Amino acid sequence: MRLGIVGGGQLGRMLAQAGAPLDIRFTFLDPSEAPCASAHGEHLRADWQDETALSRLAEQCDAITFEFENVPTAAVERLAEHRPAFPPAQALATARDRWVEKSLFRELGIAVPPIARIDDQADLDAAVAEIGLPAVVKTRTMGYDGKGQKVLREAADVAGTFAELGEMPLILEGFIDFDHEISAIAVRGRDGEIRHWPVARNEHRQGILHRSEPQPGHPLQRQAEQAIARVMEKLDYVGTLAFEFFVTGEGLLANEIAPRVHNSGHWSIEGAATSQFENHVRAVAGLPLGDTTRLVPCAMLNVIGAFPDRDAVLALPGTRWHDYGKAPRPGRKIGHITVLAVDDRTLAERVAAVDALLVNDLG
């Protein structure tokens, strides 16, 4: 069986690595000259919406998926006319637009922070007057790892912000007093079966994910599972989906979804019975889903911008090194390290030892 992946970055690379033991082969559509996934399959170098390349991808492959949400929705719709394409284009369109996304959450009864739709500076001024400061304004589309947004702390920050962010549609979100952020990750098969991994607690630095640690038994696991299941069923979703939440004294507030495998689920490669990557491949390919149980205490730390001493990291007990084959540059995710242990105390000690070796350049 051959799967087509629109996108050739590290997520596509890890999907192919997970699919190889299942004897599934891969073709990547990506405009880059040598995307890091290309070592693990055939590379079609073309624009996302190149009609000839899309036709060729559909001809070669039995099913199609994508590895990040900046892929044009039209490309997935075009592919779905010829082959099973999952997640569906509707899920991609929803996740690409923060206003559409938050509106879906409210429709499904999932709590969100105070929000407002911004189409010009007058809208922003009015929304700030209603919601108050501090707040954060974000572009409705594109933007990730803290890009395409601005924190508004005082009135002087508001003036000129619409022009500063490119005079494009925005969304304003009120600041939330939250304890921590978690990611819920689940997978839904073609038959509608849903399986959930334990939620992961996330730590960010300068808007970029630094560390994720699965939390079996988290008191809000069930609430997170209910929310992600509502979204999956509403969108007739197939594949792995991540849902980020803020944990508050009143429960969960929805942040955003990612219609794909997600950085905060990388721990599952070694730490779960079936990784998010393998289960995504299984779902898209129409195979039975695998067990999502966490096997041992574990955590994932990102390698950003610059590599630490690999030998020093590998000399530490319980470490697993993942190099994405990407050239280092400030703010770029170029790998991750998984840390495994027999108990929580040992895990904390090992994570601290790895963290001390990181030389992340966040830009």
Q: Are strands 63-66 and 2-6 parallel, antiparallel or unpaired?
A: parallel
Instruction: Report residue 148's pLDDT band, with 50, 70 and 90 as the boundaries.
Output: confident
pLDDT on residue 359: 95
Answer whether residue 147 shows pLDDT above 80. no
Instruction: Report residue 145's pLDDT band, with 50, 70 and 90 as the boundaries.
Output: low
What is the residue type of 295? Answer: L
Answer whether residue 144 shows pLDDT above 70. no
Read off the pLDDT of residues 192-243 as tens digits, 9 standing for 90 and up. Answer: 999 999 999 999 998 899 999 999 999 999 999 999 999 999 999 999 999 9
In the chain, the domains with their CATH numbers are 2-85 (3.40.50.20), 114-174 (3.30.1490.20), 180-357 (3.30.470.20)
This prediction has a pTM of 0.95
Answer whether residue 118 shows pLDDT above 90. yes
Partners of 245 in beta bridges: 182, 254
> Cα separation of 10 and 362, whole Å?
18
> Lowest-confidence range among 56-65, 138-147, 244-253?
138-147
What's the token pair of residue 216? 């079996």
Answer whether residue 143 shows pLDDT above 80. no
Read off the pLDDT of residues 259-315 as tens digits, 9 standing for 90 and up. Answer: 999 999 999 999 999 999 999 999 999 999 999 999 999 999 999 999 999 999 999
> Cα separation of 77 and 83, whole Å?
10
Answer whether residue 68 shows pLDDT above 80. yes
ω before 87 within 30° of 0 (cis)? yes
